């Protein structure tokens, strides 16, 4: 038996040997999970309270930063409104629907053959 065959035998044995596996996996009680989630939420809230102890300068900075973020978001939206495609006409929408239906029919025909 060569080294490769020996390794594959060991791997097969490890994968198929059930003696080291537990007989039955036990389900974690749902009440334990709920308690853990509640504790996590409390810890997050207490963490938020500790970050709320900011100086006036820090608060002003955060407010100004958020205001600038909102302005940048609005600017991006307006940019795309300005340079975006013209409103879709009824003919354009009908053309797209027709192309879509043709593509679907073509794919179905290919699958049938």
Asked if the structure places residue 76 within a domain, the reply is yes
Residue 62 near residue 54 (C-beta atoms within 8 A): yes
Asked if the structure places residue 79 within a domain, the reply is yes
Asked if the structure places residue 78 within a domain, the reply is yes
Residue with tokens 């879509």, as numbered in its chain: 100
Asked if the structure places residue 71 within a domain, the reply is yes
**90 pLDDT exceeds 70?**
yes
Structural domain harbouring 66:
57-83
Asked if the structure places residue 8 within a domain, the reply is no
Q: Say which residue, 74 or 81, is predicted with more confidence.
A: 74
pTM of the model: 0.29
**43 pLDDT exceeds 70?**
no
Asked if the structure places residue 109 within a domain, the reply is no
Q: How many domains does the chain have?
A: 1
Which tokens in the block code for residue 30?
Answer: 């749902």
Residue 54 pLDDT: 83
CA distance 11 to 17: 10
Asked if the structure places residue 67 within a domain, the reply is yes
Residues 7-41: pLDDT tens digits? 777 767 766 666 666 666 666 666 666 666 667 76
Note the Cα 78 to chain centre separation in Å.
Answer: 27
Residue with tokens 């940019």, as numbered in its chain: 79
Helix (H, G, I), strand (E, B) or coil at 25: coil
Helices (H), the chain: 3-16, 30-51, 56-83, 90-112
């Amino acid at each position: 038996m060569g080294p490769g065959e020996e390794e594959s035998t060991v791997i097969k044995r490890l994968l198929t040997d059930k003696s080291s596996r537990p007989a039955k996996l036990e389900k974690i009680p749902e009440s334990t999970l709920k308690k853990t989630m509640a504790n996590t939420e409390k810890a997050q809230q207490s963490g938020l309270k500790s970050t709320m102890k900011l100086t006036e300068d820090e608060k002003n900075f955060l407010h100004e930063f958020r205001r600038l973020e909102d302005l940048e978001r609005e600017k991006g939206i307006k940019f795309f409104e300005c340079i975006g495609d013209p409103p879709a006409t009824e003919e354009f929408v009908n053309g797209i629907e027709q192309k879509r239906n043709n593509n679907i029919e073509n794919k179905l025909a290919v699958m049938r053959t």
